[in-house]
Amino acid sequence: MKGGPSRHFTWEEVGLPAPTTPEAAHYASALFRNAREMAQRLEVVRAAADSPIRVGSWYRSPAVNALIDDAATRSTHLEAKGVDFEIVRGPYAAPAATQELVEALIRAGAIPDGGLGRYDRHTHLDSGPAGRRWFGKSS
Ligand SMILES: [Zn+2]
């Protein structure tokens, strides 16, 4: 599958099938728009960390989301607005350091504020309402 929501991320990573017809694109346009917007934030994080980013989970269908223990029933993943990721290497790879980096990028205005969840093995970032922070356990 070619292409993606931004230069370094693929539609396969998002988990949304690439639209192959105008009808499909129209039907899913909000999801694709949300994924592109989140991809731009991830590009900023990627550049600041100077490291590839491994995407663990991005878009989830309602059926998939329902299978995940403790997944929020109104998860931002359902709208392709939330992404779980890891910085692959370098000084920001540990989730605590990733969180500090993302907070610094938000304070600097490099990315908009949204949701930021720190887990023991990954970081959740979303473009939902600003100021939400939490700690969780990776499943
Ligand atoms: Zn998440």
Residues belonging to the chain: 139
**pLDDT tens, position by position, 103-117:** 999 999 999 999 999
Question: How far does the centroid of ligand 1 lie from the alpha carbon of residue 83, in Å?
Answer: 5
What are the helix (H) ranges across the chain?
11-14, 22-27, 29-49, 62-67, 95-107
SS3 136: strand
Domains of the chain: residue spans and CATH: 11-136 (3.30.1380.10)
Question: How far does the centroid of ligand 1 lie from the alpha carbon of residue 21, in Å?
Answer: 29
pTM: 0.89
Question: What is the per-residue pLDDT for 54?
Answer: 98
Query: What is the distance between the alpha carbons of residues 59 and 82, in angstroms, rounded to a whole number?
Result: 7
Phi and psi at 136, nearest 5°, equal -150, 175
**pLDDT tens, position by position, 63-87:** 888 888 666 767 899 999 999 999 9
